[in-house]
C-alpha cells in the first residue's frame, strides 16, 4: 500500500467530490489546506494523519485522513477514510 495519494484522488475516493474532475477543480482553486499549508494543485500528496480544511457546500470542513484507499468504494467504506473534526456547534 502506498504511503501517499494524490489530493484529487483522495477527495473522489472518499466521496467528498462527486467526480474526479470536480475534485481536481476543488484542489486547484487554492482553497484547500493540508496541515495549514495552502494547496493549489491536484497532485499534492495526502498522507494518513494529514488534516485537510476547506469550504465545501456552504460550510467549512476540517478532516483528518484516517486511511488511503486503493479504489473508490461504497459510501460506508468512504466514511472510514477520514474523521470529521469540524464542530457542528456555532454553525447555522
Alpha helices in the chain (DSSP H): 7-13, 20-28, 75-78
Flag whether 92 is in a domain: no
Flag whether 33 is in a domain: yes
Number of domains into which the chain is organized:
1
Per DSSP, what are the bridge partners of residue 22? none
- What is the predicted pLDDT for the residue at 1? 57
Flag whether 56 is in a domain: yes
CB neighbourhood size of 24 (10 A): 20
Flag whether 89 is in a domain: no
Question: Please, is 39 exposed, middle or buried when counting C-beta atoms within 10 Å of its C-beta (0-12, 13-18, 19+)?
Answer: buried
CA–CA dist 11, 5 (Å, integer)? 10
Q: What is the CATH number of the domain that holds 10?
A: 3.10.290.10
Flag whether 63 is in a domain: yes
Domain containing 67 equals 5-84
pTM listed for this prediction: 0.87
Digit-by-digit pLDDT tens for the chain (92 residues) are 579 999 999 999 999 999 999 999 989 998 899 999 999 999 999 999 999 999 888 889 999 999 999 999 999 999 999 999 976 544 54
Amino acid at each position: 500500500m502506498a504511503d501517499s495519494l494524490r489530493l484529487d484522488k483522495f477527495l473522489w475516493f472518499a466521496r467528498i467530490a462527486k467526480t474526479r474532475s470536480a475534485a481536481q477543480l476543488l484542489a486547484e482553486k487554492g482553497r484547500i489546506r493540508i496541515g495549514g499549508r495552502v494547496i493549489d494543485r491536484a497532485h499534492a500528496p495526502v498522507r494518513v494523519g494529514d488534516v485537510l480544511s476547506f469550504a465545501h457546500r456552504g460550510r467549512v470542513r476540517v478532516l483528518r485522513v484516517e486511511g488511503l484507499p486503493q479504489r473508490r468504494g461504497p459510501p460506508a467504506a468512504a466514511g472510514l477514510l477520514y474523521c470529521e473534526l469540524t464542530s457542528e456547534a456555532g454553525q447555522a
